[in-house]
Structure 1
Amino acid sequence: MGAAVAITRLDLTAGELRKAARREKNSTVARRILALALVLEGADRKKAAESCGMDRQTLRDWVHRYNAEGLAGLRSRKPTGPRSRLTTEQQAELAALVEAGPDPEQHGVVRWRRVDLRDALERRFGVKLHERSVGKVLAKLGYRRLSVRPRHPQADEAAQEAFSKNFATTLTTTLPAHAQGKPIEIWFQDEARIGQQGTLTRVWAKRGSRPRAPRDRRYDWAYLFGAACPQRGVAAGLVMPTANAEAMSLHLEAISRKVAPDAHAVLVFDGAGYHSAGTVRAPENITLLQLPPYAPELNPIENVWQYLRANKLAITVFDDYDDIVAKTCEAWNFFANDPDRIASITSRTWATVNP
């Protein structure tokens, strides 16, 4: 073992090091700081090391790191691991390949598997990777296996982009005169059918198995009308037997009662026929703003339905209509009574009001 290495960095005293150790949330780093404080106080190196859960050689290494980098040097560093066999440019091309998706006629598949991408990389670059290595590269690039959602063939992506990009300007031109000067709340609204033809979800199970779960095959259901304001973390919901103009009007009244006093709400909703029926009248403190056609991606309440089905309503057998209503109300209240969850699921960066 080499001779003891002196602490040459003296910008912090032993007392200041102890204070830093008390503030440190990482217990391992805190022990290293305390060991250095003991050394500065004149403690025996061996005792200083053992009292902080290390041997003398390890303490010697941390003294070197502290002398060179200060407190930052006492943090553990993740090993860099082997260098990727794909260059930065090749990784970018892999990302473009994933984004574009496969051509069924050219590639013979309708979705990319790791083995397909492995073969494509070998053909393009002559680089042979194991399919697990392909998965690691994809994870590094930020890709995960996700469930897809249906996209209507008539969806206008340009209109959707313009709606979100120009949202604040649209608000300015949409607000009625009596709303000018009032605080503006952004609300999102939608409805979902909840019933005995329920959904399944993913569960933990052993690899290679296919777990079973109950699924009702009967045909009774109710409609959950839901709306949320992410900036205030509040929500308003109704469970109705049908989805029509009358139910929509009742839901608008429920939302109106949730809007803050002296504020005005802009309710973003889709273009379902009964939303704009002649009998539907928005309360005075609500302005209706319709989404572009076939644009569920712009309505975060769609994510609320996905969340509730996955966590509260999937793998459920409903006894009858009353049971559907009771469990749907329970699921909605689980969401609506948690402001942090409301904000987390329904917040959108583009849905803001210019000051």
Structure 2
Amino acid sequence: MAATLTTALTGEEITILKTYKRSRFSLVQHKAEALLLLDDGVTPDIIARFVERQPSTITTWILEFNRLRIASLFTGHAANTNASKLTPAQRAEIATALSQPPSTRGIPAQFWTVPQVKDWIASQFDVVYDSDTTYHLLLRHAGLSFKYPQVFDKRRGSDADIDARMAQIRDEIADALKDPGQVVFAADEVRVEHEAEVRKAWIHKGHPTTLSVDRIRQAQSYIGFLSQTTGEMDLLRLTWQNTETITRALTTLVDRHPGKKITVVWDNARWHRSKKLREHLDEGNVLANVHLVWLPPYAPDHNPIEKVWNEAKAAISNRQRLHFEDTVVGFETFIASSTFSYRI
């Protein structure tokens, strides 16, 4: 019997059980605690005292878990034995619940997952479905879609602070956008990487085929200046991203727009704010007609040029190029032949 009273929890199961330790339902909470304690080597007798159950109950929980795994936490819902159709009223209630973060239902998570939805519906409505497709449909019915969430730096400011700063920037550049003697750019750096990949191909049987490719991983850095009036892009290659190369890029930008006052809106990279760069902006210097404006920190989604980079990378990703220079030329050709509607 001693060999039976083990669980051999997987890492995923441990994560899920830790979540259920904070469940609003005491039975689910106690079962999760019992299984985690057992996994840590605590004996069933001690676990029984901890969760205020009989040792025989703990034994039953362990045996059920070994048979049903996580599903055993929800009494009576194993193997879909109590499953039934949801009523229209229940579906409406579920849609309301899924349209809100799981934390509003006592689940410590930012996003819903299928296991969480499945367990919550089972505990609330006594319904379990065999297929995950049903839960996918419920999530879609609640207005959710399956996609990668945006990831932001934890140092990012509040939405209110970011919106306030963006409003200030728009006010600051408003006159320049209407002045034919001035140009306004959204700017940013990007790296284009290349490594040739060999995929399957239709080849005649009995005729081995070899393909010579450049397998060296290479990258090219750029800085782009997206005009906020014409949507055209000034794209410049960079040997590196630092104050020296960015100063040279700004000098080239000035040469391309002679006699114009230039406003550049960009992020807070250290080489964008360096003392050495700002010294070149003083009166009498080559960059004297350049005015720099900084976006709110850690808010790249508010720089319209980020959408250009995404569009350009997507355009060249559908074709496998064997040589690095072919990738670079493809990227530059797409930028040069396009105008973009993205604005601050």
Provide the TM-score with structure 2 as the length reference. 0.53
**Residues 39-94 of structure 1, C-alpha deviation per residue, up to 9 Å, x if partnerless?**
xxxxxxxxxxxxxxxxxxxxxxxxxxxxxxxxxxxxxxxxxxx9956454542321
Give the drift of 1:98: 5.9
CA shift in 2, pair 1:84/1:285, >3 Å:
farther
Secondary structure of the residue aligned to 1:116 is helix
Match of 1:252 in 2: 250
Alignment partners' CA distance in 2, 1:122 and 1:316:
47
CA shift in 2, pair 1:266/1:162, >3 Å:
farther
Q: Determine which of 301, 307, 321 is the counterpart of 1:297.
A: 301
**Residues 266-315 of structure 1, C-alpha deviation per residue, up to 9 Å, x if partnerless?**
32211212222344345455421112332222223333333333331477
Alignment partners' CA distance in 2, 1:84 and 1:231:
52
Match of 2:190 in 1: 192
Alignment partners' CA distance in 2, 1:94 and 1:218:
47
Q: Determine which of 269, 272, 278 is the counterpart of 1:272.
A: 269
Tell me how many residue pairs correspond in the alignment: 237
Q: Which amino acid aligns with 2:137?
A: K
Match of 1:136 in 2: 137
1:217-228 to 2 correspondences below 5 Å: 218-228=216-226
Alignment partners' CA distance in 2, 1:263 and 1:133:
60
Q: Determine which of 239, 242, 245 is the counterpart of 2:240.
A: 242
Q: Which amino acid aligns with 1:335?
A: I
Q: CA RMSD in A?
A: 4.4
Q: Does residue 124 of the first structure (1) align with residue 124 of the second (2)?
A: yes
**Higher mean displacement: 294-303 or 83-92:** 83-92
Secondary structure of the residue aligned to 1:242 is coil
Secondary structure of the residue aligned to 1:267 is strand
Match of 1:165 in 2: 164
Give the drift of 1:128: 4.8
Match of 2:148 in 1: 147
Match of 1:205 in 2: none
Match of 1:332 in 2: 332
Q: Which amino acid aligns with 1:136?
A: L
Q: Determine which of 304, 307, 314 is the counterpart of 1:310.
A: 314
Secondary structure of the residue aligned to 1:96 is coil
CA shift in 2, pair 1:156/1:269, >3 Å:
same
Unaligned runs of 5+ in 1: 1-81, 200-214
CA shift in 2, pair 1:239/1:306, >3 Å:
same
Alignment partners' CA distance in 2, 1:269 and 1:101:
41
CA shift in 2, pair 1:230/1:317, >3 Å:
same
CA shift in 2, pair 1:318/1:286, >3 Å:
farther
CA shift in 2, pair 1:311/1:216, >3 Å:
farther
Tell me: higher relative CO, structure 1 or 2? Use CA pairs within 8 A at least 6 residues apart.
1
**Residues 110-166 of structure 1, C-alpha deviation per residue, up to 9 Å, x if partnerless?**
96443432332332344556532332343344422222454323x2231x5423334
Alignment partners' CA distance in 2, 1:87 and 1:337:
50
Give the drift of 1:102: 10
Alignment partners' CA distance in 2, 1:175 and 1:293:
18
Alignment partners' CA distance in 1, 2:265 and 2:103:
29
Alignment partners' CA distance in 1, 2:127 and 2:89:
7
Match of 2:204 in 1: none
Q: Which amino acid aligns with 1:120?
A: W
Kept in 1, the 8 Å contact 2:177–2:228? The answer is no
Kept in 1, the 8 Å contact 2:221–2:240? The answer is yes
Give the drift of 1:250: 3.2
